[in-house]
């Protein structure tokens, strides 16, 4: 299922837990290099989908290809080509900034030289030069989040999955975080991001909105606003969710 245009292809994805269906016949694709927003209320099934795409969970049925590899048979290759950042910033509190970078670089098989070079440029970009040897537990939340994102794309993945990356941070930090997302997209990394902040939806190239395990709408933010005659994504979402 290699496709020059689409980097993620999902056909008829179903995931059920007993009698509950979290993902009900999802079909969508994500284009190379775009920022794809995966929106929905809490419990709409966003995290389930992202976990399946990352290989953390098996689908009940459906055809899936991520970064050009089949999710059932080429799991290891999928894993090499993706980055992941979860709702919790997933850094080790008792390790220093550099030790975290070295660890994650190491498990993705980067050489010592690459790790040193990348961590140096990363810390310059973030303005972290003086915090190289600080423990993660001693740095502010906003910094942790930026660092977690940088670590998730340290190995230059083709796609990075962000599962509600901006939960619990202030609007200014959120804005700065989105600047980093743009920068990553500029470097050619496809960004797949879930969120329930509708203002963030405006920053995406395309969005899909999930309601009760199904995709209720999928298009660019501008087209969606036109289609639903709503002034903002927030209004689009409310119209959809109330059905």
Partner 1 sequence: MKRFRGFVVKEFYHIFRDYRTLLILFGMPAVQLLLFGYVLTNEIKDAKIAIYDPSKDVATRKITDKILSSGYFILEKNLNSVSEIEPVFRQGEVKLALVFETGFAGKLEKTGTARIQIIGDASDPNTANMLVNYATGIITNYLVSMNAKQVPSQIIPEVRMMYNGELKGVYMFVPGLMAMLLMLISALMTSLSITREKELGTMELLLVSPLRPSQIIIGKVFPYVFLSFVDACIILGLGNAVFGVPIRGSVALLLLESFLFITMALSLGILISSMTSSQQVAMLISLVVLMLPTILLSGFIFPVENMPWILQILCYCMPPKYYITIIKSIMLQGNGIVYVWRETLILAGFTSLFLTLSIKKFNVRLA
Count of residues near partner 1 by CB under 8 A = 28
Element of type H or E holding 181: helix 171-186
Single out the segment in contact with partner 1 by CB under 8 A; choices: 61-69, 83-91, 213-221, 227-235: 83-91
Please give the biggest Cα pair distance in the chain.
54
Nearer Cβ to partner 1 (109/229): 109
Q: Of 37, 55, 62, 165, which one interacts with partner 1 (CB under 8 A)?
A: 55
99 counts as binding partner 1 under rule CB under 8 A: yes
CA pair distance 209, 98, nearest whole angstrom: 38
Single out the segment in contact with partner 1 by CB under 8 A; choices: 34-42, 86-94, 169-177, 183-191: 86-94
Q: Of 102, 118, 144, 174, which one interacts with partner 1 (CB under 8 A)?
A: 102
Q: Of 14, 21, 25, 95, which one interacts with partner 1 (CB under 8 A)?
A: 95
DSSP label at residue 131: G
CA pair distance 57, 50, nearest whole angstrom: 9
Please state the φ and ψ torsions of residue 210, each to the nearest 5 degrees: -100, 135
CA pair distance 100, 106, nearest whole angstrom: 10
Contacts of 220 (CB under 8 A, 6+ apart): 205, 206, 207
Single out the segment in contact with partner 1 by CB under 8 A; choices: 20-28, 81-89, 194-202, 218-226: 81-89
Q: List interacting residues with partner 1 (CB under 8 A).
A: 54-58, 76, 79-80, 82, 84, 86-95, 99, 102-104, 106-109
């Amino acid at each position: 299922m290699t496709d020059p245009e689409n980097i993620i292809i999902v056909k008829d994805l179903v995931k059920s837990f007993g009698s509950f269906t979290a993902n009900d016949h999802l079909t969508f694709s994500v284009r190379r290099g775009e920022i794809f927003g995966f929106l929905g209320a809490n419990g709409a099934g966003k995290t389930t989908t992202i976990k399946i795409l990352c290989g953390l969970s098996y689908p009940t049925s459906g055809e899936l290809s991520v970064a050009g590899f089949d999710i059932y048979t080429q799991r290891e290759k999928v894993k090499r080509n993706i980055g992941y950042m979860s709702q919790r910033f997933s850094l080790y509190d008792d390790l220093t900034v550099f030790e975290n970078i070295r660890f994650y670089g190491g498990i993705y098989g980067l050489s010592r030289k690459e790790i040193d070079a990348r961590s140096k440029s990363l810390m310059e970009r973030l303005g972290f030069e003086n915090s190289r040897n600080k423990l993660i537990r001693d740095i502010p939340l906003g910094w942790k989040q930026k660092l977690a994102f940088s670590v998730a794309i340290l190995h230059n993945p083709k796609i990075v999955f962000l599962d509600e990356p901006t939960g619990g941070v202030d609007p200014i930090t959120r804005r700065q975080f989105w600047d980093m997302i743009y920068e990553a997209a500029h470097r050619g990394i496809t960004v797949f991001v879930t969120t329930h902040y509708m203002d963030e939806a405006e920053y995406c190239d395309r969005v899909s909105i999930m309601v009760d395990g199904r995709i209720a709408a999928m298009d660019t933010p501008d087209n969606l606003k036109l289609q639903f005659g709503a002034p903002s994504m927030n209004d689009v979402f409310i119209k959809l969710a109330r059905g």
